[in-house]
Amino acid sequence: MTFPVVGMVGGGQLARMTHEAGIPLGIRFKLLSDSPQDSAAQVVGEVVIGDYRDLDTLREFARGCDVITFDHEHVPIEHLRALEADGIPVRPGPDALVHAQDKGVMRARLRELGAPCPRNRIVADPADVTVFAEEVGGFPVILKTVRGGYDGKGVWFVRTPEEAADPFLAGVPVLAEEKVDFVRELAANIVRSPHGQAVAYPVVESRQVDGVCDTVIAPAPDLDEELAGQAQRLALTLAAELGVVGHLAVELFETADGRILVNEFAMRPHNSGHWTQDGAVTSQFANHVRAVLDLPLGDPRPRAPWTVMCNVLGGDYPDMYAAYLHCMARDPQLKIHMYGKDVKPGRKVGHVNTYGDDLADVRERARHAADYLRGTITE
Amino acid sequence: MTFPVVGMVGGGQLARMTHEAGIPLGIRFKLLSDSPQDSAAQVVGEVVIGDYRDLDTLREFARGCDVITFDHEHVPIEHLRALEADGIPVRPGPDALVHAQDKGVMRARLRELGAPCPRNRIVADPADVTVFAEEVGGFPVILKTVRGGYDGKGVWFVRTPEEAADPFLAGVPVLAEEKVDFVRELAANIVRSPHGQAVAYPVVESRQVDGVCDTVIAPAPDLDEELAGQAQRLALTLAAELGVVGHLAVELFETADGRILVNEFAMRPHNSGHWTQDGAVTSQFANHVRAVLDLPLGDPRPRAPWTVMCNVLGGDYPDMYAAYLHCMARDPQLKIHMYGKDVKPGRKVGHVNTYGDDLADVRERARHAADYLRGTITE
């Protein structure tokens, strides 16, 4: 047989769940991971331990892979170009990934494409932040380092000129964005193949707590159909214009006056798409694998009227396995997804999915399980 | 965290799919496999290559496992007793597994329990087969070696006294069974935990071609509700009486006069339960893992009105991966499950699942995909 080898760079939970989704396809899955304890390294057969920032390591890893894809967006662009020059397909490719690595490049390109964004520009120094604040109607404003941020890291909510100093300390360019008065956050998730085939998942509502995704509701309740279509078309257009291959998550603000604005995006399977594992005909992970292999994509439609995902964060209670007894006995339909990570307070260590016909019930079940696993409730 | 280690003996596709189902639970999965090329060994992180017939190998493997379970039923019973004596939980245990290893023991126990079976007895020699044939109304009769058979191997359809000689050549006791005039084959699949909790999947119809499972339809179409309940209760009773832990598949004949008779059973995930991967709330594999860990079991109910599974056998066309293009493009809802095995004519190398509201459509889609993958159709 001529089943291909997919090389996955990065050993986090996205790689773990991508491997899980790839097993039924009979493909070979090779992992480049920092450590054998990494989430994906625990469950994958073929694991190379090495540093993705080292080109020689990447090249050695890529040998014998039919395609390279990613658990994260941190591989240096010049290394990806070198792999491409070696003849290894890199999906998504460097020309697309640069937009996910650099928020400055991302905003410039979105402006060019006429995509709706919060007002934004690169700011030179703390004084320039005050100028920007005046341009957008005053403080507060959002500052972001253009590179290296995730899950609320690298992002500052700045209320006064005095607070504008910190973001500049890292020596990385700083992007200022207006503080959008949004009513909720949405995510438009799509998957695109090299052929240009693309599928759009239903637009979801994403709720953050302390800058970290907490709950995703699929589909977003009471979302205007026209706005949902607009969000899906926007994600599809961005994927095509940027040449994205694989999963693209576009995180959006929905404003009180019924507009959507692009907040962030990610070119890989994304937390806002975890609900698809149990709630969609084809999961984001299965479709990501199909896309990077240029196979026809699977049906993205939901299998239940409502699916809810809640992240499980580490709490003070380290023995999450013991909590399975209560959670599984209480809800035989509950879907637990744990990542094999050590529990640290605030760390994402897993998520749960629930689905059904009654949104209130589906939400309560996911919330209860996530809280019980974390240890913030005991009954 | 105190997540347990499940030790799986045997590296076939059942182990492969059990690993896939265990990944979301965050457990560790250790595999004892004959060869690194085995179906499961390709996709599992922690693999020990060794011979399950060797007690020292088993003991060494079992060290550090919280529980041992199986991909097949061939581990010598005395080895399982030795592991238990070492303090390792073995699930299912030797007292249960002996019934799956020896058809003579199985039939004797079923008789004791009053379970409906084809008339049967151990036969001493070819002459005794003729006596048995007279007892049950004449030839043809079925002969089975009591140990070592599967997928039609170790089973003879005997039409004349002359044909009765072959089964005795292996030197293994031979069981004679009446040839049942059945209208179709059914399977009642249940999962039972050490606590005694059990869940019953809908009874399915199983179609064999040349003694090998070809198609499974869930639930069995037009099955009398009373008979379905009877089949489920029978499987639950057998599991409780034999002390089965994990998945139990009871293969049944449905007779023209509306009875069910026990044909075979298997104490592990089973081909007649593969539909549950995409068609049930909790798959047989996920529930098998939960059972051997004595976790509360998951909901066994179907997610769609109809689910159909067709096995993919090896044909003359070795490049099944190339066939993905057509199959996936034709049916974006198709679920392919390949086992990473080399294609050999007649060998089970994968299966496909389809589901939906219209049985005729669901069957056609599964049939088409299985035939196309095998290469018996080209459009």
Q: What is the pLDDT of residues A278-331, one digit of tens each?
A: 999 999 999 999 999 999 999 999 999 999 999 999 988 878 999 999 999 999
From A190's Cα to the closest Cα of chain B, the distance in A is 15
pLDDT for B270-308, tens place per residue? 999 999 999 999 999 999 999 999 999 999 999 999 999
The predicted structure's pLDDT at residue A292: 98
CA distance A347 to chain B (A): 14
Q: Do A23 and B16 touch (CB under 8 A)?
A: yes
Q: What is the pLDDT of residue B318?
A: 79
Q: Is the pLDDT of residue B1 over 70?
A: no
pLDDT for A152: 64
Please count the other Cβ atoms lying within 10 Å of the Cβ belonging to residue A28. Answer: 19
What pLDDT was estimated at residue A2?
83
Q: Average pLDDT, stretch A64-93?
A: 97
Residue B344 has pLDDT above 80, yes or no: yes
Q: Does residue B125 have a pLDDT over 90? A: yes
How many residue contacts between A and B have a Cβ separation below 8 Å? 133
Q: Are B213 and B311 in contact (CB under 8 A)?
A: yes
Residues of A in contact with B47 (CB under 8 A): 45
Per-residue model confidence as pLDDT tens digits over A120-152: 999 999 999 999 999 999 999 999 999 876 666
Beta carbons of A239 and A99 less than 8 angstroms apart = no
Q: Are B36 and B11 in contact (CB under 8 A)?
A: no
pLDDT at site B268: 97
B299 to chain A: which residues are within 8 Å by CB?
332-333
As a whole number of angstroms, the distance between CA B278 and CA A303 comes to 11
Distance between CA atoms of residues A93 and A103, nearest Å: 17
pLDDT at A153: 76
pLDDT of residue A149: 66
User: For position A150, what pLDDT does the model report?
Assistant: 62
| Residue A144 annotated as binding site | yes
- B24–A contact, CB cutoff 8 A: yes
Gap from A225 CA to chain B (nearest CA, Å)? 24
B350 contacts in A (CB within 8 Å)? 26
Closest CA to A46 of A84, A76, A5, A99: A5
Q: Which of B1, B320, B334 sits opposite A320 (nearest CB)?
A: B1
CA distance B136 to chain A (A): 45
| Residue in chain B lying closest to A351 (CA) | B24
DSSP secondary structure letter of residue A164: G
Q: Could you check whether the bond before residue B167 is cis, i.e. omega within 30 degrees of 0?
A: no
**Across the interface, do A43 and B42 touch by the CB < 8 Å criterion?**
no
- Closest residue in A to B290 (Cα) is A328
Task: Name which of B43, B289, B290, B372 to mutate to probe chain A: the one with the most chain A Cβ atoms within 10 A of its Cβ.
Answer: B43
When the pLDDT of each residue in chain B is averaged and rounded to a whole number, the result is 95
Q: Is B364 annotated as a binding residue?
A: no
C-beta atoms of B340 and A26 within 8 A: yes
Evaluate if residue B97 carries a pLDDT over 80: yes
For the segment A198-218, the average pLDDT, to the nearest whole number, is: 95
Search chain B and give the residue with CA nearest A356.
Answer: B303
Confidence (pLDDT) at B151:
61
Rounded to the nearest 5 degrees, what angle is found at the Cα of B80, between the Cα atoms of B76 and B82? 115
pLDDT > 90 fraction of chain A, expressed in percent and rounded: 92
The shortest C-alpha distance from A322 to chain B (Å) reads 8
Whether residue A101 is predicted with pLDDT greater than 70 in this model: the reply is yes
Closest by CA to A193, choosing from A254, A128, A282, A104, is A282
Select from 3.90.1170.50, 3.40.50.1820, 3.40.50.300, 3.30.470.20 the CATH code of A182-374: 3.30.470.20
Check if A14 contacts B (Cβ < 8 Å).
Answer: no
Q: Give me chain A's average pLDDT, please.
A: 95
Residue B233 vs residue B346, higher pLDDT: B233
- Measure in Å the smallest separation between the Cα of B328 and chain A Cα atoms: 6
pLDDT per residue as tens digits for the range B214-230: 999 999 999 999 999 99
- Indicate the pLDDT class of residue B60, thresholds 50, 70 and 90: very high
What would the CATH number be for the domain defined by B5-90?
3.40.50.20
- Inspect the interface and report whether the beta carbons of A320 and B296 lie closer than 8 Å: no
| pLDDT (0 to 100) of residue B117 | 97
Q: Is residue A357 within 8 angstroms of chain B, CB to CB? A: no
Statement: B119-178 belongs to CATH 1.10.275.10: no
B303 touching A (Cβ < 8 Å): yes
- Distance between CA A189 and CA A202 in Å, rounded? 8
Looking at the predicted structure, is the pLDDT value of residue B153 above 90? no
Residue of chain A whose alpha carbon sits nearest to that of B349: A26
B3 touches chain A (CB under 8 A): yes
Nearest-angstrom CA–CA distance, A26 and B250: 29
Stretch A17-45: mean pLDDT, rounded? 97
Exposed, middle or buried, B127 (CB in 10 Å: 0-12/13-18/19+)? Answer: exposed
- Predicted local distance difference test score (pLDDT) of residue A224: 97
Domain definitions of chain A by residue range: 5-90, 119-178, 182-374
Check CB contact under 8 Å for A24 and B338.
Answer: yes
Partners of residue B41 in chain A, C-beta under 8 Å: 45
B179 is in an annotated binding site: yes
Distance from CA of B28 to the nearest CA of A (A): 8
Residues B72-93: what's their mean pLDDT? Answer: 97
**Among chain B residues, CA nearest to A24:** B337
pLDDT of A156 strictly over 80: yes
* % residues pLDDT > 70 (chain B): 99
